[in-house]
Amino acid sequence: MNLYITILLISILFGITANVFQFVINDKWNKIILIALAFAIVIIYGIAFNFSNLSWQLLFVIFISCYLFQLKGAIFSAIVSWLIVTLQAEANLLILTSYIIFAIFIGMATQFYEKKSKQQERWLSTLMTQSKQLDVFREVSLAMQQTLQLDKLLQIILVSVTAGHGLGFNRAMIFLKSSEKNQLNGIMGIGPMNANEGFGTWERLAKSNLKLLDIIKLNYDKDAIDPQLNALIKSISIDLDNQTILEKALRNGIPYNVEQIDKTDHSQQLFLNFFQMQAFAVIPLLNQGKQIGVLVIDNIVNQQPITEDDIDSVIPLANQAAIAIEHANLYEQIENMALKDGLTGLLNQRSFENYSNNLFSSAETTKNPLSIVILDIDSFKHFNDTNGHLLGNEVLIELAAILQNSVREQDIAFRFGGEEFIVLLPNTKEDKAVLVGERIRENIEKATFPSEEKQPNGTLTVSVGVASTEKLYFDTINNLIDAADNALYQAKSLGKNKVVLYKEDSSHE
């Protein structure tokens, strides 16, 4: 009985020793110590019981070695076990052969099990990654369906790429191809300027425990998103006539993973200098072969290398983003067409209704008066009858350009219809409005128009009517327009080519 207790105590002591060592040495040595302790316990047991059943007990050690070191460990333990048995009896090749066969069988079975386990882990990891990506795409699609505003779409894309509940990159930037020049213009980015700033952002997001859609909604205020980073991005234009990694990605229509900065590449040197990028990936944004722009991603905070799998996870989102951006651009073009005069490029009557109602409702008679200028081309019917409507259209285009250059930055010019134009002057008193009207009239009179010598006065002129809420009360915007229109007709009756300010009459007493 005492012998059993002694063996039990020795086993417990060995177990405690093994547990102590596992905290101070690496995993490999922990395994070696465990096998050595197993051999020691078997030998102690053999000494206590005259080595009866020793050859069978050593099979347990071989099994442990196989589990810890697979086939190589099992064969090594088989040879050591045979040597131990040999020391107690004469050499027996049958035992050695049995040990090796047992080791090979267990080792191969263990390797097969390990291989299957790792394969299942990879499948599970891939499945979880794909499931997360599908969730991201679903949430992004849902968010994109709720807006056609380009700024909001870009934010949705960038947040999806950088958020922890999204694809999880540290930083992302979008450069869109200009419709006028062969260049990429920096539009928007999300992420830190440096690694230290990035750690602070990660900590705040982790504490907030927000979902992707929540983060997207919070980031709709574009002026609040990384203002320093965005100011820098918007200052960048990259010429596509020069060969850079961005031009190459767009031209070939494939992503590129830049693992080390090539300082001979202007764009890469720029990213290094401006954003401290040591490595990054470029994903082209294409829609049916049309070049929309590029998405640039990097990991400035955790310095994690961007893998091919990482890039593959971004490509579907980039394709979806390209389609959404193109739709937003088309929508904006349609909106502009609907709100602008097709001939002169000025805002049209529909736009005037929106602007005028908003400005009139917010205007205060004394503090923020709203003034309005209406001008009409003098004897324009005579011009069209004499020279034809095509030349008349040229005059309207030139006059609109002069009008646009004659008003102040805060003023808004419209083509109201035919040869009539209107200018809204927010926060403008009547004396300033008259000065603006006079400047418009004078600039048009001085300009040279085709065939203007055929006009009654030998030159093309306009009559101008001005009205303001500064000193007069008007119930509606239409009453203010009528007042300016009355002043215009008074200018016509006084001989044309004049500016008249609407004065109070009996209807406004």
Entry field: residues in the chain: 509
Q: At what angle do helices 477-493 and 349-362 cross, to 10 degrees?
A: 110
C-alpha to C-alpha distance for 204 and 507, rounded to whole angstroms: 63
- Which one-letter DSSP state was computed for residue 427? T
Residue 180 falls in the annotated catalytic set: no
Q: What is the pLDDT of residue 49?
A: 56
Below-70 pLDDT ranges, the chain: 1-35, 37-59, 67-71, 73-74, 82, 84-96, 125-148, 163-167, 196-225, 364-366, 505-509
Say yes or no: 316 and 359 in one domain: no
Q: Give the amino acid at 471.
A: K
Q: What is the pLDDT of residue 289?
A: 85
Say yes or no: 106 and 188 in one domain: no
Q: In what order do the strands lie in the sheet with 280-287?
A: 237-239, 183-190, 171-177, 290-298, 280-287, 256-258
463 strand-pairing partners: 376
For β-strands 420-426 and 370-377, DSSP reports them as antiparallel
C-alpha to C-alpha distance for 430 and 110, rounded to whole angstroms: 93
Q: What is the pLDDT of residue 211?
A: 54
Q: Give the amino acid at 169.
A: F
Domain end (from 334, 362, 387):
334
b/e map 490-499, b = 16+ CB within 10 Å: bbbeeebbbb
- List C-alpha distances in Å: 133 to 72, 281, 313: 40, 18, 7
For the range 34-41, what are the long-range contacts, defined as Cβ-Cβ under 8 Å and sequence gap of 24 or more?
34/64, 34/68, 35/61, 35/64, 35/65, 35/68, 35/73, 35/77, 38/64, 39/80, 39/84, 40/14, 41/7, 41/10, 41/11, 41/14
C-alpha to C-alpha distance for 461 and 379, rounded to whole angstroms: 9
Look at residue 37 and tell me if it is in a domain. yes
Say yes or no: 358 and 317 in one domain: no
C-alpha to C-alpha distance for 428 and 405, rounded to whole angstroms: 18
Say yes or no: 356 and 304 in one domain: no
Say yes or no: 448 and 369 in one domain: yes
Say yes or no: 240 and 95 in one domain: no
**Contact between 84 and 56 (Cβ < 8 Å):** no
Q: What is the pLDDT of residue 435?
A: 96
Look at residue 131 and tell me if it is in a domain. no
Q: What is the pLDDT of residue 220?
A: 45
In the chain, how many domains are there?
Answer: 3
Look at residue 126 and tell me if it is in a domain. no
Domain end (from 334, 357, 379):
334
Domain end (from 282, 306, 334):
334
Domain housing 305? 146-334
Catalytic residue selected from 419, 430, 504, 509: 419
Give the CATH number, domain containing residue 295: 3.30.450.40
Look at residue 406 and tell me if it is in a domain. yes
Q: What is the pLDDT of residue 158?
A: 82
Say yes or no: 359 and 445 in one domain: yes
Please name which of 478, 404, 403, 464 lies closest in space to residue 434, comparing C-alpha atoms. Answer: 464
Q: Rounded to the nearest 5°, which phi and psi values hold at 371?
A: -115, 155
- Taking the complete model, does pTM exceed 0.85, yes or no? no
Q: What is the pLDDT of residue 507?
A: 42
